Each structure stands twice: as C-alpha cells, then as structure tokens.
C-alpha cells in the first residue's frame, strides 16, 4: 500500500507497518523526526528486524548516522543478518566511517559465511562493480538436471535465501559462467535433461549472458544495463568465475546519484556537503565557487572599464549591456547542459565531437540572428537610433555564436584533461559569454556610434 501523504502519528504508523513498503515507512519516519526525535526512535525500535534494514537504507544520510549511533551493536547485527550481502556491506561501511569499533562488533557477531562475504565485498573500491553486487544468486552446474536445480530454487525461496530471481546462471566445474537462462524459458524445457544437454540442443547465442567484471567502473555497468534494458547482470572475476550479480535497483541508484551530482556540480554545489548538519561547513564549500564567480565578475567589469568614455558618451549602452550578457549566458548554459549530459551517457567524446560542436554552433547562430533582429528593432524604437539597433544586433550574433562554440567546447576540453566536465564548466562559460558580450557590444558602439 504506497502512501502519498506521510503518516505522522507514530502509533498509526506502527499499526500499518505490514501494509507499507519500506520506502513509505522511511518517508513517514522523516516526517515524524521533524516533529519529535523521541517518537522517531520509539518507532524505529518497534520496527521488525526483517524490514528495518531496508527502511534504514531509505533514510537520508544524516538520519542514518543517528540511527547507527542510537541502536545497539546486537540490534544492528540482527538487522544486517536479514539483508542481502550488498546492502549489509553498505550498512557496515557506513557505520565504519564514524565508529569502526562498533562495525567490527557487528561483523564478529555474524555467521562465518556472512562475515566472509561482507569482508570480501568491502575490499572493492566504491566505483567498482564489485562494490554494488550481491553474492546471492541462482546457479546450476552443467551436469545438473533442470529438475534438481528447480528443487533447489524452491528450497531457497522457502527459506528466504533467494529473492528477485529471474534466471539461472549455468557454470562449469571451475565456476566459470557459461550461460544465462531466463526462468520463463526454462519452464518449457524437459526437466529431466541436464543443462549441458540443453545447451547442446540450442544455439549458444540464445543463452549467451551479458557480463561485467568485478573491477569494471560502475558507470560503464549502468550504461550497459540501460542500453540492453537488463533487470540484472552477472559479475565475473578472475578467469571469468561467477562471483555475484548487480540488480536494477542498484543501477537506478547509480543513475540517480550521477544525475544529482551533475546537477549540483553545474551549479557549483558539492553533493557531499549538502546533507551536512553543520551549516558553516556547507556555507564554506559554496563560498569557494562564489569566490570564483566574484573573480570572473571583476574580470568582466574590467572589460567594461576599458570603455568608460564610450558609456559616458552614450548612456543607453549601460541600459542595454545586461541584455547581451544575459542572452549569451542562457544560450551557453543550454548548450553546456546538453554536452555534459551526452558526455555522461557516452554518446560523444573528444574524438567524434566535431558534429556535436557544429550542431550547437548552428543552433546558437540561428537563434542569434533571430534575436538580433528582435532586439535591434526594440533598441532602435526605444532610443530612436537605428545605429544603436545595429550595434546590439551584431553583438547579439557574436555573443550567441561564442556561447554555442564555447558551451560545446569547454566540457570536451575538460574531459580531455581528465577533469569532470560538470565541474567548473559554468564558471568558465559565464566568464567567456560576459567578456565577449561586453567587449563586442562596447567595441562596436565605439566604432559605429562614436
């Protein structure tokens, strides 16, 4: 039963736990925490271990830290024991960040098999596919019959050891991944046959799996899942040995995180600091980018200062200047957003970027001519001077051309230099469009009007 509105009454929430998804419970808990911290922890303690882990993982970072600190090591151990290996590892690593001793206590209280899996998954870097995989999967050996494997699957489901199973991964004696067969295909075959017999009778391409390696970058995995619309993808390690799988919910989290990070970076905001309780820390981080913006604004003002005599002679220029800069900045931001997104999706790179740059320059020039005519006529009628209309029209074309060219080029150059294109692109582009806009407008005014 999904809910659109949060349940803010603690007792009402506990009464409806069985009907709610963990995401809905977490959403209600956030609202309860805003009203009363005591009620928040009261509800938290009453949530069964079977779903508490999933609820915790749906909470914001700052609330999760409070939960880890408040709950005992034994309670957290019971919670972790109910989770899939990837989610259990996430919780352990989050606890380690502020209380390594508590994290170790939790790990030591787990069964040996769970302990081994978590310690194994922890060794992967956060950007590697291995850090997102879970070790729980359904596999079968070549010499096993389909009926025997189905019986094992039934037992795994009854004991809640396996969830979200969509296919069986066929492996050889060395645990090397051979094939991937969807359950909907499996049920039409003769259950008395072995998987080896099944594969011999059918085209190998039909059951050839999409695979990623445990050391692959998770962004590349996400692109593969998106491209081929996969619900789950197997992960192999050394010698193509099957080690785990990555499910679509984790890929969606990766996509969301990347999109959020790009949005923040384009605005000069650091996602890592936006969830901090310390407002001073967040303010300092934002101040760094504001300082850069101040420096570029001063640079643009120096350009204006070069033409102070021109502005004194023609006051109308001061009124029209912001229009040129604003139009250039907005046009450049449009181009920048498109290019950064295409780079993130892998649709373009530095080597095949010529067509993309041409396209953006053409669009910017087309818009430049259209708005040059519009603003030229407006300036002419406003100040009763045709030459002033000509000046701002020519400047509009020049600035929108530069906005398209540099809006497309700056992210590509940053990518070539191994710098995230989303970081700093906005500051550099704003500097270019302001300087080109002011300089072209005032220089043309000096030449044509004076």
Shortest CA distance to 327 belongs to which of 379, 282, 285? 379
Asked whether residue 256 is assigned to any structural domain, the reply reads: no
Shortest CA distance to 26 belongs to which of 51, 58, 62? 58
Q: Are residues 205 and 323 in the same domain?
A: no
Q: State residue 266's pLDDT score.
A: 61
C-alpha–C-alpha distance, residues 427 and 296, integer Å: 8
Assign residue 153 the CATH number of its domain: 3.10.580.10
Q: Are residues 278 and 213 in the same domain?
A: no
* pLDDT tens digit sequence for 161-172: 888 888 999 999
C-alpha–C-alpha distance, residues 442 and 432, integer Å: 15
Assign residue 401 the CATH number of its domain: 1.10.357.20
Residues of the chain with pLDDT under 50: 1-2, 273-274
Q: State residue 245's pLDDT score.
A: 94
Asked whether residue 380 is assigned to any structural domain, the reply reads: yes
Shortest CA distance to 189 belongs to which of 179, 199, 180? 199
Asked whether residue 252 is assigned to any structural domain, the reply reads: no
3-state secondary structure 284-297: HHHHHHHHHHHHHH
Q: Are residues 352 and 299 in the same domain?
A: yes
**pTM of the complete model:** 0.68
* pLDDT tens digit sequence for 40-49: 999 999 999 9
Q: Are residues 226 and 284 in the same domain?
A: no
Q: Are residues 52 and 170 in the same domain?
A: no
* pLDDT tens digit sequence for 354-384: 888 999 999 999 999 999 999 999 999 999 9
Asked whether residue 185 is assigned to any structural domain, the reply reads: yes
Of 213, 247, 281, which residue sits at a domain end? 247
Assign residue 80 the CATH number of its domain: 1.25.60.10
Q: State residue 416's pLDDT score.
A: 83
Q: Are residues 239 and 277 in the same domain?
A: no
Asked whether residue 358 is assigned to any structural domain, the reply reads: yes
Q: Are residues 275 and 208 in the same domain?
A: no
Asked whether residue 62 is assigned to any structural domain, the reply reads: yes
Q: Exposed, middle or buried by CB within 10 Å (0-12, 13-18, 19+), for 70?
A: middle
Asked whether residue 265 is assigned to any structural domain, the reply reads: no
Q: Are residues 55 and 198 in the same domain?
A: no
Asked whether residue 2 is assigned to any structural domain, the reply reads: no
Q: Are residues 118 and 177 in the same domain?
A: no
Q: Are residues 327 and 443 in the same domain?
A: yes
Instruction: List, in sequence order, every beta strand (DSSP E) within 183-301.
Output: 212-213, 232-236, 242-247
Structural domain for 399, as ranges? 271-448
Residue with tokens 């100040």: 383
The total number of structural domains in the chain stands at: 3
Q: Are residues 299 and 433 in the same domain?
A: yes
Q: State residue 381's pLDDT score.
A: 94
């Amino acid at each position: 039963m999904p809910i659109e509105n949060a349940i803010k009454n603690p007792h009402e929430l506990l009464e409806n736990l069985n009907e709610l998804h963990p995401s809905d419970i977490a959403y209600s808990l956030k609202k309860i925490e805003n009203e009363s911290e005591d009620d928040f922890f009261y509800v938290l303690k009453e949530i069964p271990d079977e779903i508490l882990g999933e609820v915790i993982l749906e909470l914001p970072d700052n609330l999760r830290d409070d939960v880890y600190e408040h709950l005992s090591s034994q309670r957290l151990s019971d919670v972790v024991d109910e989770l899939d290996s990837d989610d259990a590892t996430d919780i352990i690593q989050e606890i380690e960040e502020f209380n390594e001793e508590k994290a170790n206590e939790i790990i030591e209280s787990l069964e040996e098999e769970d302990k081994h899996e978590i310690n194994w998954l922890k060794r992967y870097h956060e950007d590697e596919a291995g850090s997102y995989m879970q070790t729980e999967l359904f596999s079968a050996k070549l010499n096993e019959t389909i009926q025997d494997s189905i019986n094992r699957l039934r037992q795994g489901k009854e004991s809640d050891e396996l969830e979200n199973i969509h296919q069986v991964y066929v492996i050889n004696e060395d645990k090397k991944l051979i094939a991937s067969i969807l359950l909907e295909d499996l049920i039409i075959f003769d259950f008395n046959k072995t998987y080896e017999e099944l594969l011999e009778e059918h085209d190998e391409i039909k059951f050839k799996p999409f695979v990623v390696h445990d050391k692959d970058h998770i962004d590349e995995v996400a692109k593969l899942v998106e491209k081929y619309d996969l619900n789950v993808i197997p992960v192999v390690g050394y010698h193509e040995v099957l080690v785990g799988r990555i499910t679509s919910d984790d890929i969606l989290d990766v996509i969301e995180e990347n999109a959020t990070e790009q949005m923040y970076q384009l605005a000069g905001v650091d996602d890592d600091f936006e969830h901090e309780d310390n407002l001073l820390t967040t303010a300092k981080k934002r101040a760094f980018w504001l300082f850069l913006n101040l420096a570029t604004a001063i640079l643009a003002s120096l350009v204006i200062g070069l033409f102070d005599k021109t502005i004194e002679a023609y006051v109308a220029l001061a009124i029209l200047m912001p229009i040129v800069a604003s139009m250039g900045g907005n046009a450049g931001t449009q181009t920048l957003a498109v290019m950064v997104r295409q780079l993130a999706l892998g649709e373009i790179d530095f080597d095949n970027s010529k067509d993309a740059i041409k396209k953006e320059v053409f669009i910017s020039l087309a818009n430049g001519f259209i708005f040059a005519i519009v603003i030229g006529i407006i300036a002419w009628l406003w100040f009763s001077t045709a030459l002033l209309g000509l000046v701002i029209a020519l400047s509009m074309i020049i600035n929108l051309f530069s906005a398209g060219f540099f809006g497309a080029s700056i992210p590509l150059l940053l990518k070539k230099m191994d710098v995230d294109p989303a970081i700093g692109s906005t500051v550099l582009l704003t500097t270019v469009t302001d300087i080109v806009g002011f300089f072209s407008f005032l220089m043309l005014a000096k030449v044509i009007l004076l």
